């Protein structure tokens, strides 16, 4: 796998017609057989697990209700009902299997949470330049350590 991945922040138009920028990653998800999707994820260091709308499960060939049923809470305190599964995220030069909750509510952003993903990388949020860097801690240990001196 490549040792670093740089992603520009995403841009979206909010309901109040204001433009919002957010830490984002454009990634592909490997589905069953030849299925898969390419999507923009909101990178959320406060989220324990990744979240996807239930409609993505269908697009990936995953039977939603075969996963472990659970409730996750959004930052606003809203309860979301969903099913835990594993997906494979495709990075340039490699892939990572991560847990995800497909929520029944289809109006949710795609969220990249910490579990299964963050331990593989040192992740740097560069607000000034509106970009995120994923650095492979095993291959770039010297660079990462120099940032903390």
Residue of 55, 107, 59, 109 whose CA lies nearest to 83: 55
Query: d(Cα 46, Cα 55) in Å, to the nearest integer?
Result: 24
pLDDT in tens, 120-138: 898 999 999 999 999 887 7
In which band, very low, low, confident or very high, does the pLDDT at 144 lie, cut at 50, 70 and 90?
confident
Q: From the CA atom positions of the chain, what is the Rg in Å?
A: 16
**Weakest-pLDDT range from 45-54, 71-80, 89-98:** 71-80
pLDDT in tens, 28-47: 999 988 889 999 999 999 99
Predicted TM-score (pTM) of the model is 0.88
The answer to whether 101 and 82 have CB atoms below 8 angstroms apart is yes
């Amino acid at each position: 796998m490549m040792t670093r991945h740089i992603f520009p922040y995403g841009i979206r138009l909010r309901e109040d017609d204001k433009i919002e920028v957010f830490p984002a990653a454009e990634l592909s998800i490997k589905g069953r057989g030849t299925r898969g999707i390419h999507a923009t994820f909101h990178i959320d260091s406060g989220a324990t697990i990744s979240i996807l709308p239930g409609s993505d499960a269908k697009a990936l060939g995953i039977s939603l209700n075969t996963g472990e049923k659970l409730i996750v809470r959004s930052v606003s305190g809203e309860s979301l009902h969903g099913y835990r599964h594993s997906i494979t995220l495709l990075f340039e030069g490699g892939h990572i299997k991560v847990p995800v909750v497909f929520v029944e509510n289809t109006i949710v952003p795609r969220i990249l949470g910490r579990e299964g993903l963050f331990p593989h990388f040192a992740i740097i949020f560069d607000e000034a330049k509106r970009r995120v860097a994923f650095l492979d801690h095993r291959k770039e240990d010297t660079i990462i350590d120099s940032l903390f001196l």
